[in-house]
Structure 1
Amino acid sequence: MTAENVRWGILATGGIAAAFTADLVDLPDADVVAVASRSADSAKAFAERFGIPRAYGDWASLAADEDIDVVYVATPHAAHRAAAGLCLEAGRNVLCEKAFTLNVREAEELVALAKARGSFLMEAMWMYCNPVIRRLKALVDDGGIGEVRTVQADFGLAGPFPPSHRLRDPAQGGGALLDLGVYPVSFAQLLLGEPSDIAARAVLSDEGVDLQTGALLSWESGALASVHCSVVGGTSVSASVTGSQGRIDIPYGFFHADRFVLHRDGREPEVFAHDTAADPHNSLKYEAREVMRALRASETESSLVPLDGTLAVMRTLDAIRDRIGVRYPGEGDETDDQEAVPAVTPA
């Protein structure tokens, strides 16, 4: 890549694709040049909405378009492996939504394919690119609250969602964990790395996906993380990190934080806030900029969202699903090598 504009292709036309594209078109160094959907009408309508010059009614045509520098994959989780893999096989660079894939096996296949092709690949974990979260991590890494003892994070939506909704559809990778729980798990692992032990409980739907899940992650250091996700109850969507010398609280919307509060003994609370005059705190531009920075630097992965970290999160999600008994169509019993714990309560 050079300093010229980065040319984007958008694969899928749902809500998150629209949100990302709306932010992309505001970036002066990004050009959205093509969009694809399995529906030609949907692709055409999306293209007209955002002024995109080319609309394809199939994914393969987008993957084969050599006028694209990077493809943003915004399908439901169950299609990530196929969509991202198709683009990587064709030599495209890829930014793929989270959860990255259904399971770590699929994630490993994509990473291996990207490395074999020498292509850039990144999970769209926009939280990691958020300037407030980056500042929080730097403060924790610098010992600002001492040794991390506990992490707490939750993400719950009130619903209700009908059985036909993607959040309850096993064929689309439904359930609270992959859609919402990926954020609390990723937040904990951003600060502590991959846990050494995992316990979990869940309430399952009649369709066999998790309506709400709670997990306790532990590390050899003695640190613990309590993470929770739900599609049957709106939660505070907040997070906190407690260390041996202080605590950090992030209010509602921790995954797109605009501030956090640092508490240390004997001192007044300190508020670290982001100036949102240029970009709102819930902007997806931060991850887009990181992708374009990496491409211009000829990097095949992001230093903010490294592939090893993505694989580690997928291993944790697999382990949690193993413990709560959630399997998706076409999966075997390979999601985890530890004995499953029958810890589910049908809704």
Structure 2
Amino acid sequence: MLRWGILGTGFITHAMLGAIRDSDSSSVTMLCGRNEAALSDLSAQYSVTETTTDQTELFANPDVDVIYIALPNHLHRAATEAAMAAGKPVLCEKSLTTTMEDANALIASVQAANIFFAEGLMYLAHPVMQQLVTVLRDPSVGELRSVSGFYAADIWQVVNSAGGGTLYNLGCYPASLLHLVVQTMCGEETFANRSIAAHGNIGKDDTLQDASLSVRFDNGVFANLMSTDSHGMAHAFEIVTTKGTLRFATNPWLPVAGENHMIWQPYDGPARDIVVKTEHDAFYHQVKMVERALATGPKEAPRPSPRLSDSLEIMQFLTDWEAAALGKDIPQ
């Protein structure tokens, strides 16, 4: 039985507590957060007997095997470094951080500790993403030519302004999926070799609220992404190859318990509905991924979940996108 300690009491914590409760190989030992009323509510709802407002107490608890960090992303570095110093494996919510300085320092602390760490891009642990990788590796799909995707949600009123804006709230989803597609179809080295152009709108909290991006990878593959916190609840992701198009008919970033659909439309022939059925959502599959890793010994998540190098490449992409959208020079 893997014993979890949970740091943070926001809405995402509910999803993870439900997923841990559904697993017969995990339980929650302790909840930690600054909001005592939220701690009390979570404790009662999910039958967790131990709570604390002190992170040090959480990290020092000998009955906690692994820490889930659900704090705002600008706090991820400090919390991860403290957990690593205490010898605790960590699953840390996306985005990894909000700056490359913090991202590099976080990963350095993980590598120095030589302890398991994974960034919580939970959708990548869902079976639909493993099926996507299988499809993309099939020679009959052809060669990659372009990718387009967007994620839109009217959430600017409720997100933490210290979190960096839409790119670190929502843009990390299409960015990380683009990363997986390019890496799978074009090789490990391709994603970092690119030129980009971007535009953005600043919101009332002085962060990017809307951001668009155009990318040309050095191998000639194009990509167009958009992320917005200012309106809607909408999503789209399409992959164009030399043989046809592959698009998600269901939300790729919130894969559900039940049926998840991708549509393969060859240029010559009928469309094929690719259905992935599962009894559990992405958060549950993320919990099982961590259970397997800690039971068998790897120090990082297996693909499609992000490895340490993947998390750094995604963060570099997000910070480059942010700089370009703000009209700043992109660090070389």
TM over 0.5: yes
SS of equivalent residue, structure 1 residue 274: strand
Is the contact made by 2:250 and 2:261 (CA closer than 8 Å) also made in structure 1?
Answer: no
Pick which of 260-269 and 317-326 moved more. 317-326
> Which residue is 1:13 aligned to?
9
Aligned equivalent of 2:198, options 191, 197, 200: 200
**Residue 217, structure 1, aligned to residue 218, structure 2:** no
Contiguous gaps of at least 5 residues in structure 2: 184-190
Farther-moved stretch of structure 1 (150-159 vs 240-249): 150-159
Instruction: Pick from 31, 41, 44 the counterpart of residue 40 of structure 2.
Output: 44
Partner of 2:180: 190
Letter in 1 for 2:201: V
Following superposition, the deviation at residue 288 of structure 1 comes to 0.9
Cα distance in 1 for residues equivalent to 2:62 and 2:139:
47
Number of equivalenced pairs: 318
Give distance in 2, aligned partners of 1:144 and 1:286: 29
Distance 1:129 1:72 in 2: 16
Q: Verify: 1:270 aligned to 2:272, yes or no.
A: yes
Confirm whether residue 85 of structure 1 aligns to residue 81 of structure 2: yes
CA distance in 1, matches of 2:133, 2:111: 28
For 1:41 and 1:208, the matched residues in 2 are separated by: 30
Equivalent-residue separation in structure 2 for 1:217 and 1:265 (angstroms): 24
Specify the alignment match of 1:62 in structure 2: 58
Q: CA deviation at 1:203?
A: 0.6
Q: For 1:266, give the aligned amino acid.
A: D
Tell me what 1:245 maps to: 243
Offset, 1:311: 0.3
Q: What is the TM-score of this pair, normalised by structure 1?
A: 0.87
Partner amino acid, structure 1, of 2:168: L
TM-score computed with the length of structure 2 as normaliser? 0.91
Preserved CA contact (<8 Å) 1:7 1:67: yes
Q: What is residue 166 of structure 1 aligned with on the other side? A: 159
Q: CA deviation at 1:235?
A: 5.4
Residue aligning to 2:317 = 316
Letter in 1 for 2:212: G
Post-superposition, which runs of at least 4 consecutive aligned residues in structure 1 deviate over 6 A? none
Residue 337 of structure 1 is matched in structure 2 by 331
Q: Which amino acid in the other structure matches residue 285 of structure 2?
A: Y
Deviations 1:108-130 (A, max 9, x none): 21211112112100001112112
Contact 2:199-2:326 at 8 Å conserved across structures:
no
CA–CA distance in 1 between the matches of 2:80 and 2:140?
39
Structure 1 unaligned runs (5+)? 327-332, 339-347
> Structure 1 residue 215: deviation in Å?
0.7
Aligned to 1:234, which of 218, 232, 235?
232
Higher normalized strand content (fraction of residues)? 2
Contact 1:8 1:32 in 2 (8 A): yes
CA-to-aligned-CA distance 1:187-245 (integer Å, 9 cap, x gap): 10101142412211001124320111001122111111111111122253011101011
Match of 1:294 in 2: 293
Is 1:108 equivalent to 2:110 in the alignment?
no
Could you tell me how far apart the structure 1 residues matched to 2:38 and 2:180 are? 37
Deviates more, 1:254-263 or 1:114-123: 254-263
Partner of 1:176 in structure 2? 166
Matched to 2:173, the amino acid is Y
Q: Aligned AA for 2:178?
A: A
Q: Structure 2: which amino acid aligns with 1:289?
A: K
Task: Describe how 1:132-143 pairs up with structure 2 within 5 A.
Answer: 132-143=128-139
| Residues 295-344 of structure 1 deviation map (CA, whole Å, 9 limit, x = unaligned) | 11111101122110110000011111111239xxxxxx9x9415xxxxxx
Distance (whole Å) between structure 1 residues aligned to residue 138 and residue 102 of structure 2: 35
SS in 2 for 1:67: coil
Aligned partner letter, 1:298: G
SS in 2 for 1:293: helix
The alignment yields a C-alpha RMSD, in angstroms, of 1.8
Asked if the contact 1:130/1:256 (under 8 Å) is kept, the reply is no
Counterpart of 1:166 in 2: which secondary structure? coil
- DSSP 3-state at the match of 2:331: coil
Secondary structure of 1:255's aligned partner: coil
Report deviation, 1:252: 4.1
Residues 151-178 of structure 1, C-alpha deviations (whole Å, 9 max, x = no match):
111100135x44xx325x1x2x141110
- Looking at structure 1, the residues matched to 38 and 82 of structure 2 have their Cα atoms a distance apart, in angstroms, of 20
Counting aligned pairs with the same residue, the percent is 24
- Deviation string 1:250-293 (CA, Å, 9 cap, x unpaired) is 024121341101111332211111223x22xx431111111111
Provide the C-alpha distance between the structure 1 equivalents of 2:164 and 2:102, rounded to a whole number of angstroms: 16
2:188 aligns to what?
Answer: none
CA distance in 2, matches of 1:190, 1:82: 28
Supply the AA of the counterpart residue of 2:318. L
Which of 118, 121, 125 is matched with 2:121 structurally? 125
Task: Report the 3-state secondary structure (helix = DSSP H, G, I; strand = E; otherwise coil) of the residue aligned with 1:284.
Answer: helix
Contact (CA 8 Å) 1:13, 1:42: kept in 2 or not? yes
